[in-house]
Every structure is written in structure tokens, then in C-alpha cells.
Amino acid sequence: MAEKKRGQESVAGASPADSASHPWRSPLYSRLPKQPYPLVVFPDVVIPAASLWTGARLWIDSLRAAEVRPGDRIAIALPPSPAFIQVLIAALWEGLTIVPLPYRSSAEETSALIAAVDARLTVSERFSSNDGVWRPDGVSGPDTREGDMTLRPTRHAPTPGVCFIFRQSGAFIALSSDNVWGSLSDQLPQLHLREAETRILSLLPWDTAGGILRDLLPGLLAGAEIIRVGDGWQDVTRLLHPAIQTGATHLFATPSHVAQIGEESGGAAFLRALEGGIVVSNGIPITSSLMELLMTTRLRAGYGNAEASCCLALGSPRIWPGTGYLGQTLNCNTRINPGGGLQFRGRNACLGSWTSEHGLHRLPSDRWVDTGDKATLDPVTKDLFLGSLSSDSGFETN
């Protein structure tokens, strides 16, 4: 039965009716089938858009054959790979709730996370195809050789309004498609990513909100070339030489990534040659020496955790007015509470949270959200700075 499904052209183009109930279908279908770009470059394989779509279609067929429904939670515990992207595309197409998990976690840790998010199925290379765990067959969809694809019994109802559930600091943050599209529509026009010309060096981990919303999805939707030079991002220096060889034009990275690159031979020149990208604040202020380097590049500041759909503030290229600079707010309201904490309100505010005991907890869309970071807001320029400014304009993180 599975082989029959693989031979069928069962996934047609997106119809007008899809736009409301399946907001991802039209942009994915216009971007992927029969197209060379986006192009994803891994150390051992290069995958064009058409091949991403072919593999994603096989996953879609298998999901439908198993009667997986919109809002069913699918955990993805895969390394950065063609299979990861194909499963992601299939899950977006079918309106599933996607839960990226760290693929290096132990079997016990992964099982606990699967139970915590009450996933109906999990895609992983490290477990047998049973108890709701499916294995990828390279770039050819799920591995069906072990028999029928099983699903895990769930305790909580499906969550059709939820696009992603991201784990952040021990909590689970739920984002809607509106959250995600709002984030992308705010970022993409300013980044000027060009089809077939932009080459993104992908360093951020794809099991995080930042990796998917700042790195992977913008590159896919813009038709860029995405260069994944390794399966992890901690040892950036090991990846620098192959990154330089690829001729990357854009970089999305944390301050620590950029600092490591800048300290290596040829690293500063590589950063200065980039056409653009974002240094994503992770709550740690940028050092003065790194700021001096950044001012000679076309990289810009960016700020926003999963609760803000990874899109709260964005700076301009070469503009670094201070070590704690976060950028200017993007289509949301911000304020500093009496304790100095940064709060925001807007369409980027997450849909809600998830707990193992109670499932999805929706929150009011017009609420003020605490970021957990102290910040300073310049009343004239509307620039945001991490931490608080002392009387002598020094930077403090108290």
C-alpha cells in the first residue's frame, strides 16, 4: 500500500479555499515544485527545491494514509538534513502542530519530551519505527519497510490553531501561523534576500525558534541558497573555512558565533564581505570589541525570543550605537515596566503556552508580554538597548 502511494500524484496545487484553512500551501506550492531554488547545500549533498518537494509529497501521502489530521502534534528529532526540511514542509502543508526537538538528546530525554508535548507521531533516526516513531528513508519519505506506520495515543485534543510549539528555557511556547507569518512579513522586506543570488550560511540550530524563523524559513521562502556546513553550531571555527569557500552572502548568528568567526584568521574579512544578515541577541550584551567589528560589516541587530515569534526588534546595517543595542521595534508596542523589564504587545505575541498536565493554554492576544530582559528605550530614536544605562552611560545588566 505504501509503494502504491509513492507512485501517485496525490498532492495537487493549492486551491483558493486553502488560503484560510491552510495558509502555507500557496506559498510552498509556488516556491517548490519544478524549481531549482531554494537550494539547500549540505556537506554531502545538494538538494534543489524540486527534490525537497518530491520528498515532502511522499511524507504528505504517508501522513494522509495514517489519517494524521490538522492539529495533530508531530515531533521532529532530526539533525539538519534534507529529511528535516521535507518533514517540515509536509507538516506545514497538512496543518500539523510542529514540535522541533534536540536530536542529540538521549532516548530517555527524547521520550520524556515526546510525552510532555503529547505528540501523535515523532520523526527520528535513532529509534525503531514503532510507538508512533517514524524513520526517514533518506530523501525518499518515511521508511515503510518495517510495516505500517503507527501513531501514538494522545491524552490532549489536537491543536489545529497552533503551527509550532518551541521549547524555551524549560517551557513550551505555542505559535500560530499568524504569529509566524507576521514575523516573516516583518523581516523579509528588510533583509532583501534574492532568489538564486542570496547564499545564507546556516549556523543556528533548527530545533529552536531562532533557527527556523530567522534562518531556515526565510531562506526557503525567498528562494535563496542555504548552506549548512555542519550538523551543529558550537564549533563555529571548524566550519569557517568551508563557509568562506562557499561564498556566503548572508549570516544569521548569535553574538558568540560572530565573535568566534572574527577571532579566526580571515574571519573578519569574511564578515565584512557579507551583504547582510542578523546578529540575534540571546540576552547577552555585545562586547565593545565585537561592536567595533560589527560597525565595519553590513550585519544588523535583531532581537526576539519564541514568545515574540523571534521578531521584536531589528536594526539597520552598520548601525551599532551601543553594546546592548537590540534594534528598533517591528510592528509592535513596547514599554519598560517600573522594574526596568521590557514588555511588548502585538501580533507577534505568542498564541499561548503548553504544559504536559493541561495541554494548550491560550492567552489574550492584546496582553502585555514580559520578555524577561531588562532594557532601555530611547524616547527620541525608539532604539532598544539590553539592560539599563547607568548615569555615566555605562552598560549594566543588573
Question: What is the reported pTM?
Answer: 0.91
Q: Does domain 2-35+45-160 have CATH number 3.40.50?
A: yes
More confident position, 157 or 4: 157
Domain ranges for the chain: 2-35+45-160, 177-350+365-396
**Res 320 pLDDT > 90:** yes
Instruction: Please give the average per-residue pLDDT across 358-374, as a whole number.
Output: 95
Reference 232, options 39, 38, 43; nearest CA is: 43
**Res 393 pLDDT > 60:** no
177-350+365-396 shares the fold of 2-35+45-160: yes
**Res 298 pLDDT > 80:** yes
**Spatial distance between the Cα atoms of 158 and 155, rounded to a whole number of angstroms:** 9
What local confidence, expressed as pLDDT, does residue 7 receive?
A: 36
* Residues constituting the chain: 398
More confident position, 65 or 240: 65
Helix (H) or strand (E) holding 371: strand 369-377
Question: What cell was used for 45?
Answer: 549533498
CA 334 distance to own-chain centroid: 23
Q: State which amino acid sits at residue 203.
A: L
The neighbouring-strand residues paired with 355 are 359
CA 61 distance to own-chain centroid: 25
What local confidence, expressed as pLDDT, does residue 9 receive?
A: 41
Q: State which amino acid sits at residue 103.
A: Y
Q: State which amino acid sits at residue 20.
A: A
More confident position, 1 or 78: 78
Reference 384, options 316, 321, 326; nearest CA is: 326
**Spatial distance between the Cα atoms of 229 and 245, rounded to a whole number of angstroms:** 11
What local confidence, expressed as pLDDT, does residue 234 receive?
A: 56
**Res 171 pLDDT > 90:** yes
Reference 227, options 38, 78, 4, 58; nearest CA is: 38
Helix 236-246 to helix 255-263 angle (10° resolution) is 80
Mean pLDDT comparison of 73-77, 261-265, 391-395, highest-scoring range: 73-77
**Res 286 pLDDT > 90:** no
Specify the CATH superfamily of domain 177-350+365-396: ANL, N-terminal domain (3.40.50.12780)
Instruction: Please give the average per-residue pLDDT across 12-22, as a whole number.
Output: 62
**Spatial distance between the Cα atoms of 14 and 24, rounded to a whole number of angstroms:** 9
Reference 376, options 279, 303, 297; nearest CA is: 303
Lowest mean pLDDT among 6-10, 107-111, 302-306: 6-10
246: confidence class by pLDDT, cuts 50, 70, 90: confident
What local confidence, expressed as pLDDT, does residue 241 receive?
A: 75
Reference 81, options 236, 248, 231; nearest CA is: 231
Taking CA atoms, 369 is separated from 81, 144, 164, in Å, by: 34, 44, 19
